[in-house]
């Protein structure tokens, strides 16, 4: 992809192992609390990185600026999905489409 920075979505080994233990291989199974928690943290991390990168872009009309703005809309939707999953106790997170 052009004009889109690479984002870091990291988990340390303890978090990753905890997530793997909490996950079930069945795609139709309920989403665990740990999955929801880590999803929410990754979305917050993505938003923070977007804001940091966005503040560094000074070149008017740069393609990356538009992509960062569009990414902001996607992050907002991901946050809504994460919040809905935590508040309503959904067994599955809704599709991000």
Domain definitions of the chain by residue range: 13-21+29-88
- What pLDDT, on a 0 to 100 scale, did the predictor assign at position 54? 67
Select from 82, 96, 71, 72 the least CA-distant residue to 38.
82
Q: Average model confidence (pLDDT) for the chain? A: 75
Q: Which residue has the tokens 């489409």?
A: 97
- What pLDDT, on a 0 to 100 scale, did the predictor assign at position 1? 52
Q: Report the predicted TM-score, pTM, of the whole model to 2 decimal places.
A: 0.54
- What pLDDT, on a 0 to 100 scale, did the predictor assign at position 94? 55
Task: Kindly tell me if the per-residue pLDDT of 2 is higher than 70.
Answer: no
Q: How many residues does the chain have?
A: 97
Q: What are phi and psi of 73, to 5 degrees?
A: -65, -40
Give the model confidence (pLDDT) of 75-95 as tens digits.
888 888 888 877 766 555 555
CA pair distance 47, 54, nearest whole angstrom: 10
Task: Kindly tell me if the per-residue pLDDT of 96 is higher than 60.
Answer: no
């Amino acid at each position: 992809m052009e004009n889109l920075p690479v984002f870091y979505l990291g988990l340390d080994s303890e978090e990753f192992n905890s997530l793997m233990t909490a996950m079930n291989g069945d795609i139709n199974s309920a989403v665990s609390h740990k999955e929801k928690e880590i999803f929410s943290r990754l979305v917050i991390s993505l938003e923070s990185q977007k804001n940091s990168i966005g503040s560094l872009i000074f070149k008017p009309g740069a393609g990356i600026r538009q992509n960062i703005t569009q990414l902001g809309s996607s992050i907002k939707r991901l946050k809504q999905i994460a919040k809905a999953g935590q508040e309503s106790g959904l067994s599955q997170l809704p599709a991000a489409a």
